[in-house]
């Protein structure tokens, strides 16, 4: 691509650094912005900058939030004694989309995979343990982690760590087919698998 403007070239380079955006789309987006009134771009850029600055992780559940406590944790209507453990924020959104879950969440930020350099210490696990520890009434834990080998390791590990507090632990029913990510499951399957959750057997002698 030949650019008559260095500024345009820079903008195209920035757009195409985004995932899934090629050089052609980047050029289309940049040219589009040039055709809009200046205020449009101003607002657009401010929205992005504010988002980056203001969005943080909830101190309790590690969901994305505009303050120390996210709207789900702050909602008095939510059942405090039910915690759904998920890998990432997109899974929170997928489950929220169903409208059938009224408990709280805990976002781990991944699954245990030493091959990828992710050990338990790299996940938000301590936060989960202290939530269970400090709760007045031991909460029920729903493990809604992808049913992969690494997901299963994470489930087993969490349940072993929570053993001293003897919580009721369940996993989501495997309506979600093996190997498929939770976030790709359709809403109906998802809400069914949460309501038909299965008790999680944690007994093993290792």
Edge-to-edge strand ranges of the sheet holding 82-86: 104-107, 82-86, 140-143, 169-171, 198-199
Question: By CB under 8 A, is residue 204 in contact with other proteins?
Answer: yes
Question: By CB under 8 A, is residue 196 in contact with other proteins?
Answer: no
Spell out the alpha helix ranges (H) of the chain.
6-16, 23-35, 38-54, 71-74, 89-98, 125-134, 149-162, 187-195
Question: By CB under 5 A, is residue 63 in contact with Zn ion?
Answer: yes
Question: By CB under 8 A, is residue 124 in contact with other proteins?
Answer: no
Give counts: helices (H), strands (E), the chain: 8, 7
**Distance (Å, whole) CA 203 – CA 78:** 31
Question: By CB under 8 A, is residue 201 in contact with other proteins?
Answer: no
- Report how far apart, in Å, the C-alpha atoms of 21 and of each of 33, 35, 45, 179 are: 16, 20, 18, 27
- Closer residue to other proteins (CB): 30 or 158: 158
- Closer residue to Zn ion (CB): 33 or 89: 89
Question: Which of these segments, 26-34, 63-71, 80-88, 134-142, binds Zn ion (CB under 5 A)?
Answer: 63-71
Pick one of 22, 114, 164, 179: the residue that binds other proteins (CB under 8 A).
114
Question: By CB under 8 A, is residue 6 in contact with other proteins?
Answer: no
Give me the 147-176 binding string for other proteins, x by CB under 8 A, dash otherwise. Answer: --xx-xx--xx--xx---------------
First-to-last CA distance in the chain? 61
Question: By CB under 5 A, is residue 61 in contact with Zn ion?
Answer: yes
Number of residues that bind other proteins (CB under 8 A): 18
Q: Please answer whether residues 42 and 49 qualify as being in contact, where contact means their C-beta atoms are separated by less than 8 angstroms.
A: no
61 binds, among other proteins, Zn ion, none (CB under 5 to 8 A by kind): Zn ion
Residues found near other proteins in the complex (CB under 8 A): 112-115, 117, 119-120, 149-150, 152-153, 156-157, 160-161, 204-206
């Amino acid at each position: 691509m030949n650019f008559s403007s260095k500024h345009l070239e820079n903008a195209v380079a920035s757009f195409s650094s985004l995932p899934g955006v090629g050089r052609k789309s980047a050029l289309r987006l940049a040219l589009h912005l040039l055709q809009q009134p200046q205020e449009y771009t101003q607002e657009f850029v401010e929205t992005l900058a504010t988002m980056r600055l203001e969005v943080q992780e909830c101190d309790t559940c590690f969901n994305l939030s505009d303050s120390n406590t996210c709207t789900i944790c702050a909602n008095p209507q939510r059942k405090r004694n039910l915690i759904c453990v998920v890998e990432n924020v997109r899974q929170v959104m997928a489950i929220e989309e169903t409208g059938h879950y009224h408990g709280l969440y805990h976002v781990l930020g991944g699954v245990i995979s030493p091959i990828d350099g992710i050990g338990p210490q790299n996940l938000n696990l301590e936060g989960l343990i202290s939530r269970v520890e400090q709760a007045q009434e031991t909460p029920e834990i729903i493990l809604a982690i992808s049913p992969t080998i690494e997901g299963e390791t994470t489930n087993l590990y969490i349940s072993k760590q929570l053993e001293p507090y003897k919580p009721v632990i369940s996993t989501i029913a495997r309506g979600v087919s093996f190997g498929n990510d939770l976030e790709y499951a359709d809403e109906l399957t998802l809400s069914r698998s949460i309501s038909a959750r299965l008790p999680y057997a944690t007994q093993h002698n290792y």
